[in-house]
Amino acid sequence: MKTDGTHQRTERVAIQGYEGSFHQEAARRFFGKQVEVIACDTFRQVAQHTIARKEATGGVMAIENSIAGSILPNYTLLQKHPVTIIGEVYLRIRQHLLVNPGVTLSQLKEVHSHPMAILQCMEYLEKQPQLKLVESEDTALSARHLQQRKSKTQAAIASKLAAELYQLDILVPNIHTQKNNYTRFLMLRHQKDAKPVADANKASVKFHTDHSRGSLAKALQVIANEGVNLSKLQSMPIPGTDFKYSFHADMEFDQLAQFEKVMQQLRKHTEEVTVFGVYRNGKDQVAG
């Protein structure tokens, strides 16, 4: 378990989705199995719960997927809310065919799940032409409805955690087509509650230059000069400007002093720099 040093208190974090979702699984990987979750319909609600500091002590937000790419609106949420990244989890996405106890494949007529999960499992599903595919708003919600209906003709595509929480059988495990499918989740706290992370070796930063010729190249050279690895560079349009962009950069380093030197130099070559968080690299302990 990776924490920012505040794990002694009972954690109650906001997640997008329902109990049994991959967001909850990521929360458990970071905060521990005892973590409580507040289910939210949208990522905006996750951010709002995090900064309200009433019901939630933090939040969990997916930021990118190894197949689908970046979740661009969530970068905007990071910019607009006073939250700090205290850690990250890389979670392998495993989709399973879930049924009520005792139900067999020959009994099934329908499969319910989020449209993305259905697409991820299409190679398997095409081999089961007898199954009608029914889209829902969430994988875990599909599992919960399956349990509530006690249906013997319906199945759901969802996580192992959903199967455990809703007492469902995993009829066919790992039906997803792409076996190396990872989602990166950010662990968030209100800026007022975030504490320095021990042994931090990664940071997320936003900056923008004056957009003159070569200004971005100079900024990137500053990062390279200190031996810091630029693991991600995401451009984002600056609202209210004519095609001007800011850049979200994820930086990996061995020593915090390297990052601090980069920040000193970067401020000289950019118009604005914002640090969203300095934390432990989740790839050091990839959650499989």
Which tens digit of pLDDT belongs to each residue from 38-55?
999 999 999 999 999 999
Amino acid (one-letter) located at 179? K
- The total of structural domains in the chain comes to 3
| 164 lies in the same domain as 186 | no
Name the phi and psi angles at 207, rounded to 5.
-145, 160
Cα–Cα distance measured from residue 253 to residue 248, given in angstroms and rounded to the nearest whole number? 16
Does one domain contain both 19 and 120? Answer: no
Residue 286 binned pLDDT confidence (cut-offs 50, 70, 90): low
Q: Which two tokens mark 100?
A: 């009520």
Asked if residue 217 and residue 101 are part of one domain, the reply reads no
Across 209-228, average pLDDT: 90
Please check whether residues 274 and 207 belong to one and the same domain. Answer: yes
Query: Could you please report the per-residue DSSP string of the chain?
Result: ---SS-TTSPPEEEEEB-TTSHHHHHHHHHH-TT-EEEEESSHHHHHHHHHH-SS-SEEEEEEEETTTEE-HHHHHHHHHS-EEEEEEEEEE---EEEESTT--GGG--EEEE-HHHHHHTHHHHTT-TTPEEEE-S-HHHHHHHHHHHT-SSEEEEE-HHHHHHTT-EEEE----S-SS-EEEEEEEEETTT--PPTT--EEEEEEE----TTHHHHHHHHHHHTT-EEEEEEEEEPTTSSS-EEEEEEEE-SSHHHHHHHHHHHHHH-SEEEEEEEE--GGGG-B-
More confident residue, 288 or 111: 111
| Residue 195 resides in a domain | no
Residue 145 is part of a domain; what is its CATH number?
Answer: 3.40.190.10
Q: Say what the pLDDT of residue 5 is.
A: 44
Q: Domain check: are 134 and 32 in the same one?
A: no
Does pLDDT of 3 surpass 70? no
Instruction: Evaluate whether residue 216 is within a structural domain.
Output: yes
In terms of residue numbers, what domain contains 243? 202-281
Q: Is the pLDDT of residue 9 over 70?
A: no
Confidence grade of residue 238 (pLDDT, cut at 50, 70, 90): confident
**Residue 59 counted as domain residue:** yes
- The verdict on 116 and 158 lying in the same domain is yes
Both structure tokens of 139? 């994988």
Phi, psi of 98 (to 5 degrees): -105, 145
- Specify whether 112 is located in the same domain as 147: yes
The reply to whether 42 and 72 lie within a common domain is yes
- Between 31 and 287, the higher pLDDT residue: 31
| pLDDT at 240 exceeding the cut of 90 | no
Residue 19 forms part of a structural domain = yes
Query: Do 62 and 186 lie in a common domain?
Result: yes
215/118 same-domain check: no
Percent of the chain having pLDDT more than 90?
85
The confidence score (pLDDT) of residue 15 equals 97
Report residue 243's pLDDT band, with 50, 70 and 90 as the boundaries: confident
For residue 6, the model assigns a pLDDT of: 44
Mean per-residue pLDDT, 210-234: 92
- Residue 5 covered by a domain: no
Residues in the chain, total: 288
- Per the domain annotation, does 57 fall within a domain? yes
103 — pLDDT class (breaks 50, 70, 90): very high
Q: Is it the case that residue 241 has pLDDT exceeding 90? A: no
| 67 pLDDT above the threshold of 60 | yes
Q: What is the per-residue pLDDT across 138-169, written as a single tens digit (0 to 9) for each?
A: 999 999 999 999 999 999 999 999 999 999 99
Backbone φ and ψ of 224, nearest 5°: -65, -35
Query: Among 79, 103, 105, which Cα is nearest to 205's?
Result: 79
- Mean pLDDT throughout 88-117? 97
User: Is residue 45 in a domain?
Assistant: yes
CATH of the domain at 242: 3.30.70.260
Residues 57 and 101 in one domain: no
Which band of pLDDT confidence, cut at 50, 70 and 90, is reported for residue 231? very high
Q: Flag whether pLDDT at 68 surpasses 90.
A: no
Of the residues 190, 217, 243, the one at which a domain ends: 190
Q: What is the pTM of this model?
A: 0.91
Give the pLDDT score at 182.
95
In a domain, 40, yes or no: yes
Residues 110, 54, single domain; the answer is no
Mean pLDDT to the nearest integer, 83-88: 98
Residue 227 binned pLDDT confidence (cut-offs 50, 70, 90): very high
